[in-house]
Amino acid sequence: MNKQQRIIITGGAGFLGSYLVDKYLAMGVPRENLFIPRRQDYDLRYEREVMMMFRDFPNADKVIHLAANVGGIGYNLANPGTLFYDNLMMGTFMIEQARLFGIRKFVAVGTICAYPKFTPVPFRESDLWSGYPEETNAPYGLAKKMMLVQAQAYRQQYGWNAVFILPVNLYGPRDNFNPVSSHVIPALVKKIHDAKVQRQPFIEVWGTGQASREFLYVEDAAEGLYLAAEHYDQGEPVNLGAGMEITILDLVKTLCRLADYRGEIRWDPTKPDGQPRRCLDVSRAEKEFGFRAKTGFEEGLRRTLEWYEQHPVA
C-alpha cells in the first residue's frame, strides 16, 4: 500500500466511515492525506459542490464513496422520493466529477437492498438483476445500484477504475441509534436497553419475526472495504458480509438474553417484515482480496450493547 496516497472518504465521519478512517491511520496513511468532506461544507447532491470539494483537495488518488441518505424500514417508507433522489444524485455526480478530476480509483459502496426481493439464498452477485428489490427499500436500493451501472459503463468507455462493493447490514459501536432512522440492530438495542432501565414489562417489535438477515460487524466491514480499495480492480460487484443468517425472532431473543432483559416480546404483524431472507455468498470477496469476517456474532452484539450502555440516546 502507498502510505502517501491522498484519499477522499465521503461519509468518513459516519458509522462505517469512521472505522475506515481509523484503519487507514493504523496502516500509516497520514491524517492530512485523508479528506473527509462534511455535509455542512459540501452538499454532494449538487454537482457544483462536488466540483468544489475536488478543488479543495487537489491531486487525490482515490475516492471511497460512503456518503448516503439511509435508514431503516420506517424511514424508507416515509421518504422514498428523497432517498431515491439524494442517493442517485450523489452517486452520479461523485463518479462523473471524480473521472473528470483524474481520480485513479473510485470505490462505490452500494447496499444489500439492491438485490431482488426473492433472491435465492445465498445471494450471489450474478443475481443482482434477476428481479425487483423489496418494495419498502426499492427506491434507495435502485438509486445505489445505478452506481454499478455507471461504474461499469465508465470502465468500458474510458478504461476507468471504478469498483462496486455490496456490504450487508452493519452493526457495532458508534452506530445510529436514533429510532427515527436507525436500522434493526441499533433500534432493538435501544428498545431493549430502555425497557430494561425503565422496567417495562414488554417490548413491541415490527413484523412477524420470521424474516431473516445477515449482519457484519463494523470493524470487519472496514477491513473488507480497505482490502477492496487497496487490492480489487475489477468491474464485477463484490458482496461484503459474514455469510451467516439469523431470523429477526432469534435476533431479538439473543439481544434480550445478552442484555438480561426478561420482559415479553410482542410482535406487530401489521408492520412490514421487509425482504423475506438475506444471506450472502461471500466467496468472491475472499477469492479476490482475501476478506473473511472475523468477529463472532454474539461477541459483536455484546460489544454493541456495552457501548450503548455508556452512550445511550434519549
Q: Is 140 a catalytic residue?
A: yes
How many other CB atoms are found less than 10 A from the CB of residue 129?
11
Q: Which residues of 211-243 are buried (b: 16+ CB within 10 A; e: fewer)?
A: bbbbbbbbbbbbbbbbbbbbebeeeebbbbbbb
Say how far apart CA 277 and CA 296 lie, in whole Å. 20
> Cβ(248)–Cβ(215) under 8 Å?
no
- Max CA-CA distance within the chain? 61
Measure the CA–CA gap between 65 and 90, rounded to whole angstroms. 9
User: Which of the residues 19, 24, 140, 171 is marked catalytic?
Assistant: 140
Give catalytic residues, as residue numbers.
140
